[in-house]
Amino acid sequence: MAQLKITYLGHASFRFESEQGTVSYFDPWLDDNPTATLSRDQVDRADIVLATHGHADHIGDSFEICKRTSAAFVGDYELCEVATAVGVTEESLRPLNPGGSTTIRDVEITMTQAHHSQSLSDHVLPHPLPEGVLYHTGGATAGFVMAYESGVTVYDAGDTCLFSDMQLISQMYGPQVAILPVGGKFTMGVREGARAASLVRADIVIPCHYGEAVGQPANIADLTRQVEILCPGTAVVPLRTDQSVVYTASSYVVSG
């Protein structure tokens, strides 16, 4: 049966491992993350690194992981320009903008829109800037759809507010797993997250980007209650740091 293992690394960071063994890190903010236990130096293997935007809690350790592991980097054009400037090889880059797709190993990755502020955290820039490198204040803020050859599809909305085209993303790509931010300060909150779940209608929703440690408390019990009302076919699956969920052909098992 088709399987995908999803491990929560803290805040909005995830690790995906497909049944074919492809390992992807999504918005890997590890060092300096008060909710993470894994450090970037402990990442000894990665095939893909995806970054939704340039804020420190999302671009995080993406470039360093790519340099350590030779992973492919998937991000917007501007982030790929910066990646080159900090030493990520050009062969590793897979630049996209919303609507674009790329296939790496057994997964097709499509960048989707998200609605969020745009800037680039200066910790990822070389200092001083090399000659010819343009400082980009921002690029696209994005979500990603990851469609695996096994038939499992994940939609991670990235940092965003609620928007009605989430329903179109659902209709286009049919994700069985949705990862949604619910912190309610820099992204949508519980009320909006529940409505987003009703638009996407995945089998499971994993909430992220919330918690006291990052100053964004969220009532996940209330999220679960609202989702049960709005889309009873969707289960809310909150994860603790380093906890995994294995999604298997319309079912799931939480471990750890």
pLDDT tens-digit map of 188-241: 999 999 999 999 999 999 999 999 999 999 999 999 999 999 999 999 999 999
Triad 48, 49, 53: Cα angle to 5°: 145
Mean pLDDT of the region 103-118:
96
Cβ proximity of 156 and 26 under 8 Å:
yes
**82 exposure class (CB count in 10 Å sphere: 0-12, 13-18, 19+):** buried
pLDDT score at 119:
77
CB proximity list for 232: less than 8 A, separation 6 or greater: none
What DSSP assignment string belongs to 112-151? EE--------GGGS-SSPPTTPPPPS----EEEEEEETTS
Residue pLDDT, tens place only, 120-134: 776 676 666 667 655
**Helical H runs in the chain?**
56-59, 62-69, 77-85, 166-173, 190-200, 220-230
Domain positions in the chain: 3-255
Half-sphere exposure of 182 (CA within 13 A, CB side): 29
pLDDT tens, position by position, 58-76: 999 999 999 999 999 999 9
What local confidence, expressed as pLDDT, does residue 251 receive? 67
Q: Does domain 3-255 have CATH number 3.40.309.10?
A: no
Classify 166 as helix, strand or coil. Answer: helix
